[in-house]
Amino acid sequence: MTEKLDRRKKYTRMVLKDSLIALLKSKPLSAITVKEICNHADINRSTFYTHYKDHYDLLNKIEEEIIADMNTYLNAHNFAQKEKAMQTTIKLLEYIKSKHEICYTLLIENKDTSFEERVMEVARSFLIDNWTDEYEGDSADSAYISTFIISGSIHVIKHWLSRNMDRTPQQIADIINTVCYKGIE
């Protein structure tokens, strides 16, 4: 009996998440109502409120899930220090490619920047140590350098997504890492 409830809960949450993502493709979050999400998901509003406070809470949970999944995916790979930045960048891009639809919607079509900021934090935690090790200037400058590198990298990724991933993750990783290392030297 508990297993059925868990499967029902998972299904309900999945349908609600999918419905919000589908609606975000056509309008901003502020223009979406819980009623619309429920109609799209064919779920009762009281069921929605059993799982989420409002549609902002639902979006937050979607973002948290993607970020946690991204961290797990990146932590599963252990690279030698010298190749770590390149391989981590490739793995990050492969993950984004595997979740193309949701990443495209949250990074490009959704005007709220919270997901972009969360992705920037993931990238910062996995990549910046490698990139800033190459910079031998003032350590106080590293926060500015990391912000510049990560912001540029996120915009390259957004451009790549908007061009329907017209290049491989390896090619985009090459571009990002080349610019990062050449700009620091």
Which tokens is 69 given?
Answer: 């999944």
Indicate where the chain has its CATH 1.10.357.10 domain(s): 60-184
Tens-digit pLDDT profile for the chain (185 aa)? 556 668 889 999 999 999 999 999 889 888 999 999 999 999 999 999 999 999 999 999 999 999 888 888 877 765 554 467 788 888 889 999 999 999 899 888 877 778 888 888 887 776 665 555 555 555 667 777 778 888 888 899 999 999 999 999 999 999 888 887 775 55
Check if CATH label 1.10.10.60 holds for domain 2-52. yes
Q: How far, in whole angstroms, is CA 55 from its chain's centroid?
A: 18
Assess contact for 107 and 116: CB atoms under 8 A. yes
Which contacts of 137-146 are long-range, i.e. CB under 8 A and separated by 24 or more positions? 145/184
Q: Helix, strand, coil % (nearest 5) of the chain?
A: 80, 0, 20
Q: Which segments of the chain belong to CATH 1.10.10.60?
A: 2-52
pLDDT confidence of residue 82: 46
Residue 121, pLDDT score: 84
What angle, rounded to 10 degrees, do the helices at 142-162 and 169-184 form?
150
Superfamily (CATH) of domain 60-184: Tetracycline Repressor, domain 2 (1.10.357.10)
Q: Three-state SS for 168?
A: coil
